Amino acid sequence: MKSEEIAEIVSQMTLEEKASLCSGKDFWHTKDIRRLGIREIMMADGPNGLRKQEGACDHLGVNESVEAVCFPTGSALGASFDRELLQNVGDILGNECRAESVAILLGPGVNMKRSPLCGRNFEYFSEDPYLASELAAAEIQGVQAHHIGCCIKHFLANNQEQFRMSISSEVDERTLREIYLGAFENAVKKGKPWSVMSSYNRINGEYVADSRKFLTEILREEWGFEGAVITDWGGVSDRILGLRAGLDLEMPSSYGVNDKRITEAVKSGELEIEILDEAIRRILKLITDFEEGKEKNAVFDREKDHLAAGEIAAQCAVLLKNEGILPLHDTQTVAFIGQYAFAPRYQGGGSSHINSFKVDSAFEILRGNPNVKFVQGYCDEDESQSGMLREEALQTASESDAAVIFAGLPDNYEIEGQDRTHMKMPEQQIRLIEEVARVNSNVAVVLHNGSPIEMPWLDKVNAVLEMYLGGEGCGRAACDLLYGKTNPSGRLAETFPMKLEDNPSYLYYHRGRDKAEYREGIYVGYRYYDTKNIPVLFPFGHGLSYTNFAYSNLGLSEKRITDMDLLDVTVDVCNTGSLPGKEVVLLFVAPPDTGTINRPAKELKEFSKVELKPGESRSVKFTLSKRAFAYYEESIHDWYVEKGKYRILICKSAQEVLLEGELEVYPEKEVTEVFDLTTPIGIILKDPVGQQVLGELMAAKKPRTGAGRDRPGEKDNGKMLEAMTAQLPLRALLSFRDMGIGHAKLQQIIDKINLMRSDKCVK
């Protein structure tokens, strides 16, 4: 519907009707206004399937929803590093929504994985903002092609479940920009979601739901977001402040309370009607955009989507370790051990929980295979059985050529509303793995978990296949990967630290009820481990294949560019093994060694996934722009490229650089520091103008600082004094009486220096 038609409807609405449209009719619907032909629309979770609740609705998905297909959760999808795959997932979900008349899918979730403990990490893609944002954009495009809206969530800095509805995330501006806003930026700019979900938490004391800075200035004015902002369920702080800030729709219903509040606020002059009209226009647009796609005939073919879910899961799994035992051979006898071989753990708990159409388990897939035996091994629900189940498993493992243990985290470890307190697997599973490894020397572990775990048993097993929470088709996917029908191609979108204490947020996470202090700043995930050289269990980007790839011919289109130019990077990738496979090509940028800014050792700036037959070679091309080299400079509230030599790194993981090239980048408009009386003399003398004016003056007046002169018997003393002089603030020259410079004169000198440099000065 055109904006004029929407404006026409708005002009016919009474104040009460407008106020009523600003909140839900019930848990999932907007209100309808029959008199004006305004229909209600339905929303549903998200993100990894359709949780359409009919009848009694509840907050956390306890009540049954319509049977649907459960796709791999965010952490698995993140590990695909595959935009096309995400677009395909979106396409399937969009079609399902259309068939079920759901207008808005509440997802994807792009929050950063600040700590491995966050209870909802399984719903999120990555610890890297660029990766998360790009994958989200692709999924959004897939969904929205069906005239179904996405509601990307949870905006912003919502990185823990504990006290999620009240905690204040205390984050500095640069960290917000580079990490937490970064996860949403391209998703919004490229994906153009119909809606954004404001998170429950506060940021630096202010509720996101009340924040004009985030909901209007950044989201709309800077990023060009044209959709509606919807509250997280029950996430309104002050309804009037919220409307003023750019918060359009309150969900679910406030049962008339806030409708009345809005009406009164307009009548009393507390809220301008224009602001309310703007929110109404955005909400009406959601409704009319959905209506426009209504002619599309969609069918929810659960069987077909179930098969797709399995294929997608296989593209997401990460082969973490393989000392030659995978793929398995049909002729080998194999003990399949573990409760999750019968009932995989394939999704998390809470609002994303899908009432799954059917679930493939390894047992279902391989039960007819005479070479495979299944034993339960452990029971999450009843540890008292562990001894007996372990004995049975050891017996079967000792009689088999190989053993595959399905392990990971039980259901209640990863749920909405609660964070983990440790990264450990249940003790009975650890013991099972260790003991099986003692009786069989060919052991593979298949993992079902939504976030990193510690693996004290890693050295004792030969292979580890990380399935994450791979959705309802993950049993088939795991079998296909184990037997080599599919070649693993996933890569970790997050670091697996050795232990929880190594994580950069460890000292600050869960340390307060009122404030969550993000003191690790921009050093999230690999940005920290890599820069600090901290050994990790598996680095960001890690993932093995059954084939090999060789990289060559790294080419940069330029050797020197300004921050306004583009740089093309090309690299050849060849499948040198004997199986077809997919390779994720990772491009990181490392900042100049000469830089004065505190920056991570390298950051992911591009990625691509290519499919290659044995012997096939492909040239992969990336185009980098300013952002690939920039950091967020707080003093100018903008992105800035420090001049210097940047390295382009083509990597296998964050810890393995394969090829590297270098180029010089310089800003078209250089930020120049304004000097004052407190600026160290050494800094002023390093500047050409400063050297010319102050250097000459000091040479002429020769203050007796002693710099440059050694005292007898004290070698290098002059150097020391020179260094000490360089540290002196300019005003210290006032105390060198032999220079004869007073305060007014010194101020004139520094003003002159600043003026001479001012044509370049933007700060």
Report d(CA 539, CA 602) in Å as an integer.
Answer: 13
70: nearest Cα among 406, 298, 310: 310
Nearer to ligand BGC, 232 or 494 (CB): 232
Q: Long-range contact list for 369-372, CB < 8 A, 24+ apart? A: 369/330, 371/330, 371/331, 371/332, 371/333, 371/334, 372/333, 372/334, 372/336
Residues 618-677 binding ligand BGC (CB under 6 A) are none
Report d(CA 751, CA 361) in Å as an integer.
Answer: 75
- With CB under 6 A as the rule, give the number of residues binding ligand BGC: 8
Strands 496-497 and 536-538: antiparallel
Looking at 579-653, list the stretches that DSSP marks H as alpha helix, in order from N- to C-terminal side.
none
Nearest-approach distance from CB 222 to ligand BGC, in angstroms = 25
Nearest-approach distance from CB 47 to ligand BGC, in angstroms = 8
Nearer to ligand BGC, 95 or 351 (CB): 351
Nearest-approach distance from CB 516 to ligand BGC, in angstroms = 17
Residues 109-138 binding ligand BGC (CB under 6 A) are none
Nearest-approach distance from CB 126 to ligand BGC, in angstroms = 18
In this chain, which of 20, 211, 351, 400 binds ligand BGC, going by CB under 6 A? 351
Nearest-approach distance from CB 204 to ligand BGC, in angstroms = 21
Report d(CA 519, CA 11) in Å as an integer.
Answer: 49
Nearest residue to the partner ligand BGC, using Cβ = 351
In this chain, which of 6, 10, 45, 337 binds ligand BGC, going by CB under 6 A? 45
Nearest-approach distance from CB 208 to ligand BGC, in angstroms = 13
Nearer to ligand BGC, 210 or 380 (CB): 210
Report d(CA 493, CA 113) in Å as an integer.
Answer: 10
Nearer to ligand BGC, 106 or 136 (CB): 106
* Structure-token pair, residue 199: 């998170």
Nearest-approach distance from CB 196 to ligand BGC, in angstroms = 12
Nearest-approach distance from CB 230 to ligand BGC, in angstroms = 9
Is position 106 an interface residue for ligand BGC (rule: CB under 6 A)? yes
Give 214-264 as a DSSP string: IIIIIIIIIT---SEEEE-TT--S-HHHHHHHT--BBSS--TTHHHHHHHH
Residue 150: strand pairing partners: 105
Nearer to ligand BGC, 184 or 233 (CB): 233
Contact mark string toward ligand BGC, 474..513, x via CB under 6 A: ----------------------------------------
The active-site residue, picked from 232, 259, 360, 687, is: 232
Report d(CA 753, CA 673) in Å as an integer.
Answer: 11
Q: What single DSSP character describes residue 734?
A: G
Nearest-approach distance from CB 420 to ligand BGC, in angstroms = 17
Nearer to ligand BGC, 103 or 753 (CB): 103
Residues 680-739 binding ligand BGC (CB under 6 A) are none
Nearer to ligand BGC, 45 or 248 (CB): 45
- Residues 577 and 614: beta-carbon distance below 8 Å: yes
Nearer to ligand BGC, 45 or 480 (CB): 45
Residue 298: strand pairing partners: none
Nearer to ligand BGC, 28 or 538 (CB): 28
Is position 466 an interface residue for ligand BGC (rule: CB under 6 A)? no
Q: What single DSSP character describes residue 746?
A: H
- Residues 336 and 374: beta-carbon distance below 8 Å: yes
Nearest-approach distance from CB 25 to ligand BGC, in angstroms = 15
Is position 232 an interface residue for ligand BGC (rule: CB under 6 A)? yes
Report d(CA 431, CA 357) in Å as an integer.
Answer: 34
Report d(CA 183, CA 188) in Å as an integer.
Answer: 9
491: nearest Cα among 344, 355, 347, 652: 652
Compute CA distances 453 → 138, 403, 409, 717, whole Å. Answer: 29, 21, 8, 55
In this chain, which of 233, 342, 523, 529 binds ligand BGC, going by CB under 6 A? 233
Nearer to ligand BGC, 46 or 473 (CB): 46
Residues 148-167 binding ligand BGC (CB under 6 A) are 153
Compute CA distances 516 → 119, 182, 231, 500, 502, whole Å. Answer: 15, 19, 21, 18, 18
Residue 446: strand pairing partners: 406, 465
Q: Is 232 designated active site?
A: yes
- Number of other CB atoms surrounding residue 28 within 10 Å: 24
239: which residues sit within 8 A by CB, 6+ positions away?
Answer: 22, 250, 254, 258, 261, 262
Contact mark string toward ligand BGC, 192..231, x via CB under 6 A: ----------------------------------------
For ligand BGC, the binding residues (CB under 6 A) are 45-46, 59, 106, 153, 232-233, 351
Q: Give the catalytic positions in this structure.
A: 232
